[in-house]
Every structure is written in C-alpha cells, then in structure tokens.
C-alpha cells in the first residue's frame, strides 16, 4: 500500500498533468479557430472561380486544357497525403495512413501490379509512416510541411509533374474539417481535372448568352490553374483545422482522464489519512487506559 507521502506526490504529478493538458487544449483550440477563419475567407474565392468555370461549361463555346486531358493508360500515379508535423493528436495520422495503404492497394487492383505509385507526404509524421510502405516511391518536397504557406510553388510542382508526363494521375488524401468533433477522410482526383468537379456549380448556372473576351478557351486556361491553386490551398487549411481539432479532442480526453485519476487518488489519500488519524487516536486512548 502506498504511503501518504507517495500519494501526495502522485496527486501533485496528476494535477500538473491536468494543467498542462488543459493549457494545450486551449492553445490547439485557438489555432483551430484561426484555421476556421482562414477557411471562411478562402471559400468565397473558390466559389467564384468555380462559378466562372461553371458558366464556361454551360456555354456552347469550345475550349480545351491539358489539365483536363485524361491519359489513355495509367502507369504512374501520385498520391499527395496530408498529415501532421507534431504528435499528441490521437489517431489522426493513423487513420489517414490506413486509408493511404488501402488506396495504394486499390491502385494495384485497378491499374495492375506494374503501376508505379509515388507518395508525396505532407507533414513529418506522415512522411515517417509512408517510408515504411514497400513498393512505392516517396517524394517529399523540400520546404513543405503541414503549416506551409508556399502553396503556389507546391501546386505548380504537381501541375508540372502531370503536364510533363511524370505522373498520369494525381490524387489527394486528407482529413476534411467539419467540426471540432467531426473530421472526415477525403480522397479525390486532383489531376486531370474532371468536369464532374463542377457538376454542382454547372447545374446552378442559368443558361445565358455570353460574349467572351478574349475567348472562352483563353479564359478557361487562365482560370483552371487558379481553381487548382484554390483547391490545394483549401486542403492545406482543412488539414490544419482538422489536426488542431483532433488535438483538442485528444487533450480533452487526456484532461478528463487526469481529473478522474486525481479524484481517485485524492479519495485514496483521504481514506489513508483518516486511517492514520484513527490509528493514532486508538494508540492514545490505549495509552490512557494503561
């Protein structure tokens, strides 16, 4: 049985842990709200770009873009997977990694065992996990992490890889932010851009006659890379918000466990202290009787 001194030391340690997890929860919550604000600022821009493309698709104008040209055969697939650079976010990275492995197996079933899969991990934790997967190439971009602001260069790197033929297809895998208690894994085809990505917007666009200047094709090829950039920027921000939300929940769970342990130790301490007092009183009374 633990002594009063040992229990007091444990209570102090648990109380410190409770304060630390509480502080970390507050910090993560502040970062999450900041990312939420960034998401709200990004959405109008992306919506406007999608509306422009929707108007173009709804018109009778002729246009084409190499970013929308599918390959006849798929021999090289790149999958960009977002994770975190830091830990203490529960099963956040584990869930994404499991889906990544499932996607790689899916590529081999769909395109054959000879398909060359390149994993482009964003985030130190995901890069470390992806390195354990056998039979894939790992391409970690320099200077890019889960908190990067160099989204444009990263997006153009993916675009150039597709246009040069280095990749026949580029997919993305990330955690979509819904709320502090709900994040959902999303997997989508980034390149080539499919017209299905604008199906919802195109359905909302009314069929009106437009005069395009300089031309529909020129506008389309100018706006499509802007759409691509908006999508990748959105994913980076969603990843930041989802990571911090996962960390908030993990710290909340740790804080709750610390509180329960604190209460149990405090109860045990009080019982042991009461037992010691009772023993001392019995000794005193026993001495007086003698």
Q: Between the CA atoms of 235, 240, 244 and 246, what dihedral angle is there, to the nearest 10 degrees?
A: 30
Query: b or e along 232-258 (b: 16 or more beta carbons within 10 Å of the residue's beta carbon)?
Result: bbbbbbbbbbbbbbbbbbbbbebbeeb
Query: b or e along 86-105 (b: 16 or more beta carbons within 10 Å of the residue's beta carbon)?
Result: eeebbebbeebbebbeebbe
Report yes or no: 171 and 188 within 8 Å, Cβ to Cβ: yes
Please tell me the pTM assigned to this model.
0.83
On whether the 28-248 domain is CATH 3.40.630.180, my answer is no
The pLDDT value recorded for residue 227 is 92
Can you tell me the mean pLDDT for 34-53?
85
Higher pLDDT, 14 or 228: 228
- Taking the alpha carbons at both ends of the chain, their separation in whole angstroms is 31
The whole-angstrom separation of Cα 40 and Cα 22 is 27
Intervals of CATH 1.10.287.80 along the chain: 4-22+250-289
The pLDDT value recorded for residue 53 is 82
Can you tell me the mean pLDDT for 252-266?
81
Per-residue pLDDT band for 236 (boundaries 50, 70, 90) equals very high
Residues in the chain, total: 290
Query: b or e along 3-42 (b: 16 or more beta carbons within 10 Å of the residue's beta carbon)?
Result: eeeebeebbeebbebbeebbebbeebbebbeebbebbeeb
151-163 vs 216-289: helix crossing angle, rounded to 10:
130
- pLDDT digit string, tens, across residues 110-140: 999 899 999 999 989 999 999 999 999 999 8
Can you tell me the mean pLDDT for 71-99?
92
The pLDDT value recorded for residue 279 is 80
Q: Is 171 helix (H, G, I), strand (E, B) or coil?
A: strand
| Residue 60, Cβ density class (10 Å: 0-12 exposed, 13-18 middle, ≥19 buried) | exposed
Per-residue pLDDT band for 275 (boundaries 50, 70, 90) equals confident
Q: Between the CA atoms of 116, 142, 230 and 37, what dihedral angle is there, to the nearest 10 degrees?
A: 130
What sign does the dihedral 67-184-99-106 (CA atoms) show? negative
For residue 139, count other CB atoms closer than 10 A to its CB.
16
The pLDDT value recorded for residue 205 is 55
Per-residue pLDDT band for 109 (boundaries 50, 70, 90) equals very high
Intervals of CATH 3.40.1380.10 along the chain: 28-248
CA 1 to chain centre: 45
Alpha helices in 176-215 (DSSP H): 199-204
Query: Which CATH superfamily, name and number, covers 4-22+250-289?
Result: ATP synthase, gamma subunit, helix hairpin domain (1.10.287.80)
């Amino acid at each position: 049985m633990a002594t009063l001194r040992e229990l007091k030391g444990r209570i102090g340690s648990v109380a410190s842990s409770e304060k630390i997890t509480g502080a970390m929860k507050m910090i993560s919550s502040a970062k999450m709200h900041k990312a939420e604000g960034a998401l709200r600022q990004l959405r109008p821009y992306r919506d406007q770009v999608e509306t422009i493309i929707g108007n173009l698709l709804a018109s009778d104008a002729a246009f084409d873009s190499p970013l929308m040209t599918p390959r006849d055969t798929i021999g090289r697939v790149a999958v960009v997977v977002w994770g975190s650079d830091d830990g203490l976010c529960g099963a956040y990275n584990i869930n994404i990694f499991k889906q990544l492995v499932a996607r790689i197996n899916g590529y081999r079933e769909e395109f054959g065992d000879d398909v060359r899969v390149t994993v482009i991990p964003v985030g130190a934790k995901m890069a470390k996990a992806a390195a354990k997967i056998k039979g894939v190439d790992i391409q970690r971009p320099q200077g890019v992490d889960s908190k990067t602001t160099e989204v444009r260069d990263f997006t153009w790197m993916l675009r150039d890889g597709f246009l040069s033929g280095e990749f026949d297809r580029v997919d993305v895998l990330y955690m979509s932010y819904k709320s502090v208690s709900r994040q959902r894994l999303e997997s989508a085809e980034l390149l080539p851009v499919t017209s299905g990505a604008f199906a919802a917007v195109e359905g909302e666009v009314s069929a009106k006659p437009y005069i395009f200047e300089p031309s529909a094709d020129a506008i389309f090829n100018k706006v499509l890379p802007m759409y691509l950039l908006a999508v990748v920027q959105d994913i980076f921000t969603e990843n930041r918000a989802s990571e911090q939300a996962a960390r908030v929940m993990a710290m909340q769970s740790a804080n709750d466990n610390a509180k329960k342990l604190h209460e149990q130790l405090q109860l045990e301490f009080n019982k042991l202290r009461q037992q010691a007092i009772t023993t001392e009183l019995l000794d005193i009374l026993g001495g007086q009787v003698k």
